[in-house]
Structure 1
Amino acid sequence: MLKEKRQPFMTPVEIVRIIASAIGIKASNKQLDTFAFKYDQPYTLASSLFKESISVPLSKFINKDFSKKLEAKFESMMREYIELVNSTPMDGITRVETEAILTRWILDTIAVEFNLFMGKVIEGPNYLMRNNLHPNGITQGFDWLSSNVEWWDSFLKFIPKEKRHRFKLWKSNDELPKLSNITNIPDYLPNSEVEGHEWEKIKVVILAARFIDNLQRNYANIYPEKLVNVAVLSLSQVEQYIWHLKSKNQDWLKPLGEQGLEIDYIFYKKGENKELSDAGRKQCSKTLIDELEVSTFKHSKFNMGYWLNWYRARWHALNGELKEANSHFKVTFEKALFFAGPSMPEIIKEALSIASSLKPTPDKAFIKRLKNSAILFGIDIPLHKEDKSQLEVNRFDSVVEDWELKLYEATFHKHFPPALQFNVTSSNASQRIGPLLGAFEQSIKPNFRSPNKKIVVGDTWGKHMPQIVYFSWMNQVEAVAQLINKGVNVNALSDSNESALLFSILQMDVLDHGSSMDDTLFKLISSIRHREDVVNTKTSKKELLPLVCAVDTGRPAVVAKIIEMGANVNFRGNTDKTSALFSALSRIGMIKRPDVSKALIKNHPLNNELLDTIRRHSNGLMGATLDEVKRNYEKYLQDPMFKNITDSGHNLIVDRIKEFMTLGNMREIAKLLINAGSDANAGHKTRINGFTPLMLAAELDEVELFEAMVQKNGDPLITAEHPETGNPIDSKYVAFAHQSNKVLRYLASQQERA
């Protein structure tokens, strides 16, 4: 792609390509060339290509520790970079103006990472503070090796003559080392007794020198001829430079902005344009958009096409022409990527509402692209799909779920209110937002002639479900019994994947103060043979799983029955992706330490996982994307009454667990799950990333359960990540930190036996 046609911001894959090329390993992956300038990218692509193209070769051939640190640095780089992309509109700026400074920031960042590794890990040379005695990095590196590796000079004497000649070429700047050259240095003396870790240190010293020399050799337009004490460029300086460029373009940007404001006024200030009819608004706005097209054409080199197409897309949406609007939103989306800055989230949200509202079917291919970009730009998070192959991960339903489609569709009137539309003929159908309300028990009667009949319930919006599911939800045991006698299909699911079995379990849910706590319905439903896939089906939005819900009844008999019916004990449920064993141990913790549990719940960070939980449980009332949910939730938290109600609800959960669950029953449930094969080493994303059921048992000093898990292949040496330091921590560390003396004594006894 010609530089003039590239967006002013680089894609993450283009950044990977620059890093790989500068280090000297670009040729190993053609995908870098293929995807570097494709602005519509899967959110995982850059990270996977960095690992494949850079991390794996460096780990295998150079130095594992450096590879790991460089990969972590890349991830933090991308987080900062995407924040800049999100916050900075590039109207009036071209790639020609940004290429050099962005490349300089990328290379400076990697150079610093090399240097940090040199100084902190191997106490190697400081290539960024080179003195004039060293004409290049290789010379500095070889001098350092001579001074700090006692056998290096002897090594140079005994290697073959042609190898010494190659080193001279490197030092004279006549040749840059290839990765394969550096990798093969230990083979120059096949019978060398030097240990592998020594060679890793040497290879990374030479690779870093090669990187520095490459900057002077192939990036002369960015770096001075002699790279001595060059100041490192920060991303904030890049931002300042961009705003400096923008200040030069105000003369033509300002009139365009005024034209846009005039269109916005006609679109969205209907109440202030009472002299204009809807037909007049329609024609006037179309004329203004045509005039804007002429103005943007005069400045075509600045790629302002996204702005024009956005107005055309909105015009068609307000005119009820959703297919045309969708077509224009596709062009808008493609032109706005890595260009539109803070407008990008709004473009994505409006486009999602249009693409999801198309009849007879939503534009799923476009919706998937939009969701991928929403994740990349930090306004949404990926779905958690455990045990999925790469092919399955790329499927539509691994990126977007059915409930999200309905939620996006429900936001259409938020973005394009009926009152502002040119033709007031748009559907007034109820939007699937907020709670499902209705006079259920009074208005719906069972149809025993058609036991498998599906019904639509709700006044606020309609939910489709089989009768057996509905009457189980309502806990109408007699109606359910008669439907069973009529041969009803107990495996039938609602449009949200709810089953009669699930609702029978939820009647005993300790966490729900509105539950009946009656097991009559469960005994009735569970007496009928179920398909295993139904027993293991999660609801589509709240991700309720029968086995995990059974744990929250606090009744061992219920858990045992669900396992007997074919539950997979390692499937995860709820929006926090919890295994049944981890959930059982968590409840034990709440019983043993209620005050600690209340404090942990109250002080839970407002992270993406919690925001997603709020979104799923509020059914769109808090917003359709995570940035909206966060903004709305934080606003509500400013209200003392809302905060008090929220805190009271959290305290009530812990109080009910203490009232209706017993340590004996929860320990019995945990043993049932352990004996059924529940994975004690399964990592969970809690306040400590990678925390396992075994670690939680260590924290709670549940030595009997801890021992039972170890006997079933629970591994005390598996580590999680400390939330503050990032250091690995194992079960012994957890037990020591929480003074779990019984578990510590058990671990000591096992060590003595070993």
Structure 2
Amino acid sequence: MKNTYPNFVEIIKFTALTFDLQPKCMKELDDLEGNVVVDPHKVNYLFDTGIKGRFEHLVGKDIGGLLSNKFRLILDDYISLVSKVDVSGLRREQVISPLVECFLISHILSIFDLPFMSQLKATPSFILTCERSAVVEILEWLSKTNPQSIKAMTKEDRDLVLAWRKGQYIPSSSSLSRLIDNDLHRTYILIACSLERLKKFEYGKALVVSTRSRLLGLKPKAISFVTAASNLQSHLKPRLDKFGRDICIVQDKLRRTKAKSPEDKIATDFSLKHLEKGYSCDELPNSSYFVHHHRARWHVYCGNLDQANVEYEKTINLAALMAGEEQRGILKEAKAVAACLNSPDKVFLKKIRWIEQIFRYDIESVERAEPSNKFTDTIEDWELDLWKQSFYGLFPKDGFFPGCDYPEITLRTGFISMTDEDSRITIDLKNPNKKVWLGLNKQKKTHQLIWFSEKGDVDSVKALLDAGASVDVKSDVDETPLIFALQAMNLSEKFGPIDASLFKLISNHPHKAESINSRTQKKRMTALSLAVRTGKLWVVQKVLSMGADVHQLSGSDRQTALNLAMKSIALLKDIEKVIKVQREPDDSDIAVDSFRRETSGLFGADLENNRKVRNAFLNEFNLYGDDHMLQWHENLKKHSSVRELIDIARELIFAGSDPNAEHETPLKGYTPLMLAAENDEKELFEMMIQYGGDPFKSFFQPLMRRNLDSYEIMSLWRQKRAWDAA
């Protein structure tokens, strides 16, 4: 059975068929169109391969880029619609009609607003007609305005074009590529062909007629899709009334925070069975996710998480393309349950994260460019603990049925907590790569070298390395001995003495590239970013010589090492300005995720809850308090200098770091070159331009509501400094 909403792979496939794009990924589109959940990177790949790449191949990069951007916007708007609007109780055929009228028509009309469409020099309505072929209309128009458009050289080609003109065939995209040289003319015919194919689909003719009527002002603007869906759902009331008592019972008695009696368990079980019977005989059409969801809760309150997990998976498979905003809460509950199983359901958790990412409920944890089915390419270990921690917040013990066992939840911390027993661990030089158990309940195991590196025990680390211990080992959150050695010199966090001895020892041992560029989970620390945070040129040079990747993003706010160096210069030169900028609001998802990571998930796993807490703290308590910045500033003054930081930036530029690399926060699209302009770093600004920096590259300034390039940034900041000085 198809989902109520068409899924996103179906949308891509439908677009490819309508325009005859003939993508190489068509088999993948066929295979995946029935899947409820698809890796968002796979959706992006299918769009880029099946639509963007094909449009650019068929009509050139300029026009193809405009068309593909338009269709990407349509897809994104559709994803947003599906993520918010509940259509439960409705069948697909009931949803398609209002989707066409209330959503799709306005987007099709916007295609005719693209710049190249103005060159038709005639109203687009002449091809939006069901009386005649759009292909015939556009070919007649081209024959009058551009008679040399079609180059039919052979008799077969001339016969083919004649058949087009008579409306006997719809031109294929490959024929258009072969017979029409002009990208613009090919585009017009391609759009006309898509309209003809569209008419062959169900609802296609109605779509064309309605679009034409709206374009000519003959039809009023449609009501919103939300209103249309709600109007359709209102007709379900007589059916729902029959089950109203059961619906009220399960909704009330299975509330997460409601204290329950022994009788509640029996009553809710009876009502759920009655509702299950109702949807199985289609008396309650397309509402089964509601029953599965409450049956899942029922199992949770019985202490049976395994069966609850099965029901949550059924719920999400049904709700993901039906339940709208309600699925956010369902996903949170399902994550907590799947994570708390004796053996966490990693396959299901991965699917949940894909849904959250594709619907923009959360952002990806593990940055990647390619689709992947590996759990570790979607979820980090610390997130699993966060979801476990959220369990009793979502399902308080008071809400369980009396006499049922509470699930035992074992948490693994993302750091090694030292106990008296841990501190007495001695090295085993006969087995230098041996692992040791740590923590209060011996719940964590790590390499000896990792443990003694974190402790900063240089003598033990040297003894292990001399005994043959591998320097390329990692902790379970991807910390390496090199990262621990650099942390001992980290000026942004260090409040005690700075010690370079461990780094000097470890960095003299050859490292594998994977180890050099290992990035920790949660805070995303890398060796190169930590080297920059030492404020020491020789440390940065050493890490670069070991093979560090200058393009790698690091930190919870995802920035390049060069960007970090530029920020360090600004911090040392003008601490007051940096603190002022730091206080400016940034409500982006990356900024909120950074807060979640930096606070170790103290305020829960949910992005929106972290956003609320973060904003409240920023407004009331200046969370990113000045103390941290002031301490970093003092450490830089004591252990580094502006000159040395400039030399670090120069070294990174020499090594190939990109002056045009765009960053997400605190200003989306800001680059290291823009930072050089803002801080009037003439030497670095000129050097960056010499190494490929683009001074005319711009970003959108939200307060000024316009784009600014590096020269404008430099001018504005110079004016501001002069004004402040006056």
**TM-score for the superposition, normalised by structure 1:** 0.81
1:183 to 143, 159, 177: 177
Specify the alignment match of 2:499 in structure 1: 519
1:637 is displaced (CA, Å) by: 4.8
Of 592-601 and 534-543, more deviation after overlay is shown by 592-601
Q: Within 1, Cα distance between the matches of 2:242 and 2:536?
A: 70
Q: Within 2, Cα distance between the matches of 1:531 and 1:716?
A: 32
Specify the alignment match of 1:58 in structure 2: 55
Q: Which amino acid aligns with 2:191?
A: A
Checking the alignment, whether the CA contact within 8 Å between 2:272 and 2:295 is kept in structure 1 is yes
SS of 2:492's equivalent?
Answer: coil
Specify the alignment match of 1:266 in structure 2: 253
Q: Within 2, Cα distance between the matches of 1:599 and 1:736?
A: 21
Q: Within 1, Cα distance between the matches of 2:252 and 2:93?
A: 35
Q: Aligned pair in 2 of structure 1 residues 509, 180: CA closer, same or farther (>3 Å)?
A: same
Task: State the aligned residue count.
Answer: 703
Pairing of 1:72-151 with structure 2 (within 5 A): 72-103=69-100, 108-109=105-106, 111-117=108-114, 122=119, 124-128=121-125, 135-138=132-135, 140-142=137-139, 144-145=141-142, 149=145
Specify the alignment match of 1:375 in structure 2: 357
1:283 is displaced (CA, Å) by: 3.2
SS of 2:624's equivalent?
Answer: helix
Residue 716 (1) aligns with residue 693 (2):
yes
1:610 is displaced (CA, Å) by: 1.2
Q: Within 2, Cα distance between the matches of 1:105 and 1:269?
A: 37
Post-superposition CA distance 1:689-734 (Å, at most 9, x none): 66554554455454444565566xx323598563369xxx99x952
Q: Which amino acid aligns with 1:340?
A: A
Specify the alignment match of 1:302 in structure 2: 285
Specify the alignment match of 2:710 in structure 1: 734
Specify the alignment match of 1:622 in structure 2: 603
Q: Aligned pair in 2 of structure 1 residues 523, 21: CA closer, same or farther (>3 Å)?
A: closer
Q: Within 2, Cα distance between the matches of 1:445 and 1:396?
A: 34
Specify the alignment match of 1:12 in structure 2: 8
1:44 is displaced (CA, Å) by: 2.9
1:245 to 215, 232, 237: 232
Q: Within 2, Cα distance between the matches of 1:534 and 1:169?
A: 64
1:246 is displaced (CA, Å) by: 0.9
1:11 is displaced (CA, Å) by: 0.8
1:518 is displaced (CA, Å) by: 1.9
SS of 1:723's equivalent?
Answer: strand
Q: Within 2, Cα distance between the matches of 1:131 and 1:379?
A: 38
SS of 2:478's equivalent?
Answer: coil
Q: Within 1, Cα distance between the matches of 2:94 and 2:128?
A: 32
Q: Which amino acid aligns with 1:551?
A: V
Q: Within 1, Cα distance between the matches of 2:533 and 2:651?
A: 14
SS of 1:302's equivalent?
Answer: coil
Checking the alignment, whether the CA contact within 8 Å between 2:579 and 2:626 is kept in structure 1 is no
SS of 1:426's equivalent?
Answer: coil
Q: Within 2, Cα distance between the matches of 1:158 and 1:91?
A: 53
Residue 405 (1) aligns with residue 384 (2):
yes
1:211 is displaced (CA, Å) by: 3.3
Q: Aligned pair in 2 of structure 1 residues 571, 209: CA closer, same or farther (>3 Å)?
A: closer
Post-superposition CA distance 1:412-467 (Å, at most 9, x none): 2223333333445335556458x9797x58775333354766343479x9665556
Q: Which amino acid aligns with 1:180?
A: S
Q: Aligned pair in 2 of structure 1 residues 281, 696: CA closer, same or farther (>3 Å)?
A: same
Of 223-232 and 111-120, more deviation after overlay is shown by 223-232
1:355 is displaced (CA, Å) by: 2.0
Post-superposition CA distance 1:559-588 (Å, at most 9, x none): 234345554444332123323223212222
2:426 to 440, 445, 448: 448
Checking the alignment, whether the CA contact within 8 Å between 1:375 and 1:382 is kept in structure 2 is yes
SS of 1:454's equivalent?
Answer: strand
Post-superposition CA distance 1:76-109 (Å, at most 9, x none): 2233222322222222211121223324566535
1:8 is displaced (CA, Å) by: 2.0
Q: Aligned pair in 2 of structure 1 residues 107, 563: CA closer, same or farther (>3 Å)?
A: closer
Specify the alignment match of 2:205 in structure 1: 220
Specify the alignment match of 1:21 in structure 2: 17
Q: Which amino acid aligns with 2:300?
A: A
Q: Within 2, Cα distance between the matches of 1:176 and 1:383?
A: 46
Q: Within 1, Cα distance between the matches of 2:131 and 2:96?
A: 30
- What runs of 5+ residues in structure 1 fail to find an aligned partner? 187-195, 743-754
Checking the alignment, whether the CA contact within 8 Å between 2:37 and 2:355 is kept in structure 1 is yes
Q: Within 2, Cα distance between the matches of 1:287 and 1:18?
A: 44
Q: Within 1, Cα distance between the matches of 2:480 and 2:380?
A: 18
Cα RMSD between the aligned structures? 4.1
Q: Which amino acid aligns with 1:220?
A: K
Checking the alignment, whether the CA contact within 8 Å between 1:104 and 1:233 is kept in structure 2 is no
Specify the alignment match of 2:509 in structure 1: 529
Q: Which amino acid aligns with 2:305?
A: L
Q: Within 1, Cα distance between the matches of 2:460 and 2:130?
A: 92
Q: Within 2, Cα distance between the matches of 1:503 and 1:332?
A: 44
1:737 is displaced (CA, Å) by: 3.9
Checking the alignment, whether the CA contact within 8 Å between 1:85 and 1:339 is kept in structure 2 is yes
Checking the alignment, whether the CA contact within 8 Å between 1:63 and 1:204 is kept in structure 2 is no
Q: Aligned pair in 2 of structure 1 residues 556, 61: CA closer, same or farther (>3 Å)?
A: same
Q: Aligned pair in 2 of structure 1 residues 681, 607: CA closer, same or farther (>3 Å)?
A: closer
Q: Aligned pair in 2 of structure 1 residues 588, 683: CA closer, same or farther (>3 Å)?
A: same
Pairing of 1:416-435 with structure 2 (within 5 A): 416-422=395-401, 423-429=403-409, 431=411
Q: Aligned pair in 2 of structure 1 residues 407, 272: CA closer, same or farther (>3 Å)?
A: closer
Q: Aligned pair in 2 of structure 1 residues 256, 64: CA closer, same or farther (>3 Å)?
A: farther
Residue 605 (1) aligns with residue 605 (2):
no
Specify the alignment match of 2:29 in structure 1: 32
Post-superposition CA distance 1:509-548 (Å, at most 9, x none): 2222x52142255456547636344443222221111221
- What runs of 5+ residues in structure 2 fail to find an aligned partner? 719-726
Residue 646 (1) aligns with residue 616 (2):
no
Q: Which amino acid aligns with 2:387?
A: Y
Checking the alignment, whether the CA contact within 8 Å between 1:477 and 1:520 is kept in structure 2 is no
Specify the alignment match of 2:557 in structure 1: 576
Of 73-82 and 538-547, more deviation after overlay is shown by 73-82
Q: Within 2, Cα distance between the matches of 1:593 and 1:257?
A: 65
Specify the alignment match of 1:324 in structure 2: 307
Post-superposition CA distance 1:587-634 (Å, at most 9, x none): 223334544433432225211111221222222222213233224434
Specify the alignment match of 2:722 in structure 1: none
Specify the alignment match of 1:749 in structure 2: none
